[in-house]
Amino acid sequence: MWRVGTVIALHDETAAARTITLEVPDWPGHLAGQHVDVRLTAPDGYSAVRSYSIASAPNPEGRVELTVERLPDGEVSPYLTQEVAVSDRLELRGPIGGWFVWRTQQTESIQLIAGGSGIVPLMAMIRSRAAAGNTAPFRLLYSVREPRAVFYNDELQALSDQDRSVVVTYAYTRAAPKDWPRPPGRIDAALIANTTWPSHLVPTCYVCGPTSFVENAAGFLSASGNRPDRIRTERFGPTGERK
């Protein structure tokens, strides 16, 4: 069933990514980590649909935030990041997905690992935890190209300042801030071992990002003793246009 949401706010996260806040009157509610299908329709009836992760925590107001990264050769993401204006209407379907989700009843340690725009569904989990007053210990390892490519920077800073059980570690792949302890580079076994929960705590791990990133991160988690059934992954390929 397709629903119509109205764009009530737009916010640029980075030069290439924008958060779209939609108000959806009959929204059935969602869980942190789920996604929606967004459908664009041209005047002649041609339509294109892509999936995007929900960034917002579950809320009673029927608000759905999507953070969309523009892909240079994308069909839908350029429209969503450049054309859409406040008060436009967008069709969406969902929420979809019952596996890559975090529920507010969960109390175990949580390890989040994001690659680039893979932060979006993980941010929904962090926001959901805060909104519910859940005290489960969270760690986020966020691998990102450079400081200016970070999404939700101020909010992540504020959340981890207020609550010592949310720990955020950044890992930069191309350019790090001055005096950053780790030289820019892809995630590796040492980084995973040093910044994620010890496996004996049996954390539930959520890994989201591009295919090769997720492949590597999930592999390092397994190798450091995490049980495969506690590692949940969400991948997007170059054409997946997920997120």
Partner 1 sequence: MGTISRGFSGRRSTADAKLPPGQYLTTDFPVLSAGPTPHVPLERWEFTINEGTDVLRRWNWKSFRGLSTENFTVDLHCVTRWSKLGTHWEGVSLDTLFAEVKTDAEYALVHSYGDYTTNLPLDDLMNKQAWIAFRFDDEDLAPEHGGPARLLVPHLYLWKSAKWVRGITLMHQDQPGFWEALGYHNYGDPWREQRYWGD
Determine the Cα–Cα distance for residues 123 and 112; give it in Å rounded to an integer. 9
CB atoms within 10 A of CB 148: 10
Pick 183 or 228: Cβ nearer partner 1: 228
CB 4 within 8 A of CB 86: no
d(CA 74, CA 236): 14
Binding of residue 231 to partner 1 (CB under 8 A): yes
Minimum CB separation from partner 1 for residue 97, in Å?
7
Q: Does residue 240 belong to the site contacting partner 1 (CB under 8 A)?
A: yes
Q: Is 242 in the site for partner 1 (CB under 8 A)?
A: yes
The answer to the question of residue 4 lying near partner 1 (CB under 8 A) is yes
233 lies in the binding site for partner 1 (CB under 8 A): yes
**Nearest residue to 165 (alpha-carbon basis) of 191, 193, 201, 190:** 201
Which C-beta is closer to partner 1: that of 159 or that of 204? 204
Q: Which is nearer to partner 1, 45 or 133 (CB)?
A: 45
The C-alpha atoms of residue 194 and residue 167 are separated, in whole angstroms, by 13
Interface characters, 76-95, with partner 1 (x: CB under 8 A): ---x---x-x--xxxx----
Question: In the numeric block, which tokens belong to residue 70?
Answer: 């523009």
Contact pick of 12, 15, 75, 189 for partner 1 (by CB under 8 A): 75
Least separation in angstroms between CB 43 and partner 1: 6
Closer CB to partner 1, residue 88 or residue 155?
A: 88
Region 210-229 residues binding partner 1, contact defined as CB under 8 A:
211, 215, 218-219, 221-222, 228-229
Say whether residue 154 binds partner 1 (CB under 8 A).
no
Asked if omega into 95 is within 30° of 0 (cis), the reply is yes
What would you report as the CA-atom Rg of the chain, rounded to the nearest whole angstrom?
A: 18
Residue numbers 162-221 binding partner 1 by CB under 8 A: 211, 215, 218-219, 221
Asked if residues 231 and 205 have their Cβ atoms less than 8 Å apart, the reply is yes
Sign of the alpha-carbon dihedral angle for 65, 212, 165, 97: positive
